[in-house]
Amino acid sequence: DAGITQSPRYKITETGRQVTLMCHQTWSHSYMFWYRQDLGHGLRLIYYSAAADITDKGEVPDGYVVSRSKTENFPLTLESATRSQTSVYFCASRETSGGLGAFDEQFFGPGTRLTVL
Amino acid sequence: QKEVEQNSGPLSVPEGAIASLNCTYSDRGSQSFFWYRQYSGKSPELIMSIYSNGDKEDGRFTAQLNKASQYVSLLIRDSQPSDSATYLCAVNDAGNNRKLIWGLGTSLAVNP
C-alpha cells in the first residue's frame, strides 16, 4: 500500500521496558519526522531525519532514540519507557524542497497509541 | 520562542453556515502555511496550503494569508457535520525549513 504505515497501532507496556515504534513510507520522501501528541501540548517534534543516516533532535528528544538506515524506514525506540511517554505517536514524511514553498507539506501516518503502565 | 496561536474553541456553527478559523504566528520569516484537519482518534490530514498573500480557494475551503499582520485564516463555507474536527495551523520554521511550527488547534462543531 502506498503512503505511510505505522506499527503497532496500539501498544501497552510497562515502565522500564524498551519499545520500538515502526514507521515505513513508500513515497521515497527524503524527510521523516516523529511527533507525539498530548492534550494541552499539541504536536511536539521528537526527532527528524533529512535522509538515510542523517537525524536531528526536535523539541522533546529525551528518552528516545532513532535510526534511519534505509530511506523508507524510521523507527523510534523508547530505551526505558516511562509513564510520561504515554502518548499518541505520529510519523510523518515530506519531499525534499529546493527552497521555501510547495514541498513543505508533511503527510502523516495513522499513529501509534502507546500506554506505559 | 516561535509560536503559532489558535483559539482552542470549541467553535460551534450551524449546518450551512460559514466557519471562520484564525491563526497568528510569530516567525516573521515564515513563508509556508498549512491547515490540517484532525478527526478524533485520527491523524492530521492536510486540507490547504498557502504561500502568497491573499486568498486561495479549494472547494468549500478558502485560506487567507496576510503576512504583514502575520495572520492566516481558514473559511469553511456551507459547513457540514462532517467538518466537525480539530483544525491545526502550521507554519514553516524560517530558521530551519525542515520543521513546521504547530498551533494547538481549534475544535469545530457543526450542528445539524
Confidence of residue A1 (pLDDT cuts 50, 70, 90): low
Residues A73-77 have a mean pLDDT of 98
The proportion of chain A whose per-residue pLDDT surpasses 70, expressed as a percent, equals: 91
Q: Which residue has the cell 482518534?
A: B41
Rg (CA), chain B: 13
Round to whole Å and give the CA distance between B22 and B19: 10
**Nearest residue to A46 via CA among B93, B99, B21, B8:** B99
| pLDDT at residue A98, as a whole number | 54
Confidence of residue A54 (pLDDT cuts 50, 70, 90): very high
Do B46 and A105 lie within an 8 Å CB cutoff?
yes
Residues A44-57 have a mean pLDDT of 95
Round to whole Å and give the CA distance between A47 and A36: 10
Round to whole Å and give the CA distance between B81 and B84: 6
- The yes-or-no verdict on residue A102 having pLDDT over 60 is no
Do A101 and B32 lie within an 8 Å CB cutoff?
yes
| pLDDT at residue A113, as a whole number | 98
| pLDDT at residue B64, as a whole number | 97
Residues in CB range of B96: below 8 A, 6 or more apart: none
Residues in B whose CB is inside 8 Å of some CB of A read 31-32, 34, 42-46, 49, 51, 88, 90, 92, 97-100, 102-105
Amino acid (one-letter) located at B73: S
Round to whole Å and give the CA distance between B5 and B26: 9
| pLDDT at residue B2, as a whole number | 85
**Nearest residue to A11 via CA among A109, A78, A107, A108:** A78
Amino acid (one-letter) located at A98: G
How many A×B Cβ pairs under 8 Å? 52
Do B34 and A104 lie within an 8 Å CB cutoff?
yes
Q: Kindly report, residue by residue over A88-99, the tens digit of the pLDDT.
A: 999 999 986 655
Neighbouring C-beta atoms of residue B79, cutoff 10 Å:
21
For B90, counting Cβ atoms within 10 Å of its Cβ (0-12 exposed, 13-18 middle, 19+ buried), the class is buried
- The yes-or-no verdict on residue A103 having pLDDT over 90 is no
pLDDT tens digit at each of 112 positions of chain B: 889 999 888 999 999 999 999 999 999 989 899 999 999 999 999 999 999 999 999 999 999 999 999 999 999 999 999 999 999 999 998 888 788 999 999 999 999 9
Does B10 sit behind a cis peptide bond, omega within 30 degrees of 0 on the bond before it?
A: yes
Whether residue B103 contacts residue A41, with contact meaning beta carbons closer than 8 Å, is answered with no
Residue B94 DSSP label: T
Whether residue A23 contacts residue A9, with contact meaning beta carbons closer than 8 Å, is answered with no
Q: Which residue has the cell 503502565?
A: A117
Instruction: Cell numbers for A47, please give them.
Output: 526527532
Question: CA–CA distance from A83 to each of A12, A15, A19, A76 (Å)?
Answer: 11, 7, 13, 17
